[in-house]
């Protein structure tokens, strides 16, 4: 049985910007968006590692109250997808669901500015062994959540196809295996403490490979694919798709859709 995909529509938005990891710097993000760049009528999608879960839920409500006025004055919106440094519950249950500041579950389709944007979060924390140790040493301290692997979900993609939604933009937290970052030099010291790390990181990228294969097989007109996670900036056209890796709080504005 087909299920209608989760769709968020931003009909008032006149531009769409993708941001790299923000690691809890919510107010800095909104300042950068509304003051530094003086954006108006703009939807900003955070490509994971928002930093949700390190504090109590009430903390994030206070953050929203502080940024709400500025977002409203500029007619801007912030939609967040999960990274590995996020508690996935905030996204699966859409625990933050204000009009201008919200979380999205994986496989949400965002409609804005002529685009249909598929959002899929998740990645592996290379420092997960250290984070688990920190939580053991400091009971009650939340800094790691096990459900972090990205998920290739064929059923969700089939539902998107059945609904007749043409995906032209993909935003993920990590990336297909042929994209940067390719080097594993930064992984080796962590892998010495975590014997499954290298295998899991390979599996993470394979999930994105399968996602891409499925989208191509279904004939989606994917033109651009944005992601964060690696804390560097890079872009290249591969297989007819423009891939863009975003550094921390780096902004990339999508061209207008058709």
Model confidence pLDDT, tens digit, residues 193-252: 999 999 999 999 999 999 999 999 999 999 999 999 999 999 999 999 999 999 999 999
When the candidates are 3.40.50, 3.60.21, 3.40.190, 1.20.1330, the CATH number that belongs to 7-253 is: 3.60.21
Would strands 241-245 and 234-238 be described as parallel, antiparallel, or unpaired?
antiparallel
Tell me: pLDDT of 2 over 70: no
Query: Residues 142-153: what's their mean pLDDT?
Result: 95
- Looking at the chain, the whole-number percentage of residues with pLDDT higher than 90 is 92
Task: Kindly report, residue by residue over 114-136, the tens digit of the pLDDT.
Answer: 999 999 999 999 999 999 999 99
Task: Tell me the domain boundaries of the chain.
Answer: 7-253
pLDDT at position 140, please?
84
pLDDT at position 134, please?
94
Query: Residues 71-80: what's their mean pLDDT?
Result: 98
What φ, ψ does residue 172 adopt, rounded to 5°? -130, 170
Q: Hey, which bits of 100-209 come out as E strands? A: 101-103, 108-112, 115-120, 169-172
pLDDT at position 1, please?
53
């Amino acid at each position: 049985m087909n299920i209608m995909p989760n769709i968020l529509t931003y009909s008032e938005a006149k531009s769409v910007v993708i941001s790299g990891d923000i690691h809890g710097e919510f107010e800095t993000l909104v300042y950068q968006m509304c003051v530094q760049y003086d954006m108006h009528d703009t939807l900003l999608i955070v490509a994971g590692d928002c930093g949700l879960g390190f504090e109590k839920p009430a903390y994030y409500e206070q953050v929203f109250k502080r940024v709400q006025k500025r977002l409203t004055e500029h007619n801007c919106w912030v939609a967040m997808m999960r990274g590995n440094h996020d508690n996935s519950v905030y996204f699966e249950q859409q625990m933050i669901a204000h009009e201008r500041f919200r979380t999205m579950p994986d496989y949400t389709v965002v409609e804005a500015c002529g685009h249909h944007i598929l959002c899929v979060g998740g990645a592996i924390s290379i420092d997960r062994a250290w984070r688990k140790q920190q939580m053991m040493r400091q009971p009650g301290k939340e800094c790691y959540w096990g459900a972090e692997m990205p998920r290739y979900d064929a059923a969700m993609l089939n539902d998107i196809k059945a609904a007749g939604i043409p995906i032209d933009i993909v935003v993920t937290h990590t990336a297909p295996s042929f994209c940067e970052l390719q080097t594993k030099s930064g992984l080796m010291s962590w892998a010495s403490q975590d014997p499954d790390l290298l295998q899991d990181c390979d599996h993470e990228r394979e999930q994105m490979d399968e996602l891409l294969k499925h989208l191509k097989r279904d004939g989606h007109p994917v033109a651009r694919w944005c992601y964060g996670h690696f804390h560097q900036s890079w872009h290249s056209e591969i297989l007819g798709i423009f891939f863009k890796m975003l550094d921390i709080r780096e902004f990339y504005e999508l061209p207008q859709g058709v």
